[in-house]
């Protein structure tokens, strides 16, 4: 039996699948745990007002600056993390890297899952 109180996942609101729990192992929640959710930085597609969905649009220069600034603010306010969860999309992975770099936390484990990918927009993509 998996108890919801025993596991935390910063970007997933439902219980993780049993296979994912087995793969990741238990992550006990402390009373002082905090979940931080960060949206990826701006992409060229965002600047053009396009739906990206699962299209793998990389970060724009503005998005890199946004991610670095987010990391600096988190560090300034004393945030420390145990793990980073991200989608498989490069814009989210890049954002995580820049945030972690700004926090001097490149050593953190990154868990990537398609379940955190943006929704698929089908023919509306692009």
* pLDDT recorded at residue 108: 92
List, for residues 63-122, the tens digit of each pLDDT value: 999 999 999 999 998 888 999 999 988 889 999 999 999 999 999 999 998 888 776 555
Prediction pTM value: 0.67
Residue 11 domain-assigned? no
Which of 40, 77, 80, 94 is catalytic? The answer is 40
Phi-psi group of 54: left, alpha or beta (phi > 0 → left; psi -120 to 50 → alpha; rest → beta):
alpha
The domain total for the chain is 1
* pLDDT recorded at residue 43: 82
Annotated catalytic, 66?
no
Is 71 annotated to bind a ligand? Reply is no
Which of 55, 77, 80, 118 is catalytic? The answer is 118
> Which CATH number does the domain housing residue 43 bear?
3.40.50.1240
Mean pLDDT, rounded, for 17-29: 59
Mean pLDDT, rounded, for 17-21: 58
CA distances in angstroms from 41 to 16, 21, 29, 68, 94, listed in the order given = 26, 29, 28, 9, 9
Is 7 annotated to bind a ligand? Reply is no
Residue 27 domain-assigned? no
* pLDDT recorded at residue 46: 74
Residue 41 domain-assigned? yes
- For residue 125, pLDDT over 60 is answered with no
* pLDDT recorded at residue 118: 74
Residue 1 domain-assigned? no
Domain coverage including residue 44: 36-124
* pLDDT recorded at residue 95: 92
Annotated catalytic, 118?
yes
Question: With contact defined as beta carbons under 8 Å apart, do 60 and 43 qualify?
Answer: yes
Residue 26 domain-assigned? no
Residue 25 domain-assigned? no
């Amino acid at each position: 039996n998996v108890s919801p109180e025993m596991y935390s996942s910063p970007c997933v609101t439902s219980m993780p699948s049993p296979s994912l729990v087995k793969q990741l192992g238990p992550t006990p929640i402390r009373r002082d745990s905090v979940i931080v959710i960060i949206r990826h930085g701006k992409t060229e597609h965002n600047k053009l007002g396009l739906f990206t969905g699962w299209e793998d649009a990389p970060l724009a220069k503005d998005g890199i600056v946004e991610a670095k600034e987010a990391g600096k603010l988190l560090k300034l306010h004393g945030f420390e993390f145990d793990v980073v969860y991200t989608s498989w999309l490069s814009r989210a992975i890049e954002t995580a890297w820049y945030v972690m770099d700004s926090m001097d936390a490149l050593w953190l484990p990154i868990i990537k899952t398609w379940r955190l990918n943006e929704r698929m927009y089908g023919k509306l993509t692009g």
